Amino acid sequence: MLKQRVITALILAPIVVWGIFGLATPGFAWFMGAVVALAAWEWANLSGWQAQWQRIAYGAFVAGLLALTYGQSEWVLVPALVWWLVAFGLVLTYPVSARLWRNSWVRALMGLLILVPTWNGLVVLHQAQLVDSRSIGGVWIILYVFCVVWVADIGAYFAGRTWGKKKLAPRVSPGKSWAGVYGGLALVAALALAVGLWLDWTGARLAALVAMTLVTAMVSIVGDLCESMVKRFRGLKDSSQLLPGHGGILDRVDSITAAVPVFTLLAIWQGWLA
């Protein structure tokens, strides 16, 4: 299993780096559109649609929505912010909350609220530039959001192992603890401060970056828990076996699907993207 994980990572990492840094935004949109369509194929199974034609049809429908919503960023991202607030409540009250979304069509709608805003957020960030800040391009903003997710995971892992007694959502993900949440948030706050000071930001702008980063990290945790909740309901360990040793695409990007649209929307509201 470890060998498979390493080989898959060594193959995928250069492809992802090339897709983000090597493509112009139109090509990046197509590249990420293909990834999201595959993730939609996986989500169809999580929704309870196991027939191959149903999964392909759902993936094609999501791909069509991506094309229809291109350039409609704020219109798409606001519902995503609302959705992740709702998802937090669903996770905390699982399994009671399952009666609200056990229907396959409801879970399919959940997939739309997760996948379509993620793609839109990535495309918006990719073509953007950080206002008045050393000409920081959108690819670096995307990398920052990814780093927020990764750093939150690292902080949560070590803090959880050391102090993690009180569980966060034991019926969804028994390994996650409140201590892990606090550890992850502390580490991403340090990341935000370091990046903000490097950008020569002070005062209200620096405070806004730290606050946005903390919100993004918290939402990323909800994204992880939300997919775990649906997989647990379906009795699945992984969303698919597309990535040998890693499970499915959704298993690798569940936190990012929450972090990207929320951070993008907050950055738009702050007027930071040109």
**Which amino acid, 248?**
G
Phi, psi at 98, each rounded to 5° = -60, -25
Residue 165 CA neighbour count, 13 Å, CB half: 1
Strands 167-169 and 173-177: antiparallel
Distance, in Å, from the CA atom of 68 to the CA atom of 96, rounded to the nearest integer, reads 35
Distance, in Å, from the CA atom of 204 to the CA atom of 111, rounded to the nearest integer, reads 36
Size (the chain), residues: 274
Q: How far is CA 44 from the centre of its chain?
A: 18
pTM score: 0.94
Distance, in Å, from the CA atom of 176 to the CA atom of 164, rounded to the nearest integer, reads 8
Confidence of residue 195 (pLDDT cuts 50, 70, 90): very high
Q: How far is CA 16 from the centre of its chain?
A: 15
pLDDT of residue 10: 75
- The string of DSSP letters for 87-102 reads HHHHHHTTTTTHHHH-
Check if the beta carbon of residue 240 is closer than 8 Å to that of residue 172. Answer: no
211-240 pLDDT tens trace: 999 999 999 999 999 999 999 999 998 898
79-109 pLDDT tens trace: 999 999 999 999 999 999 999 999 999 999 9
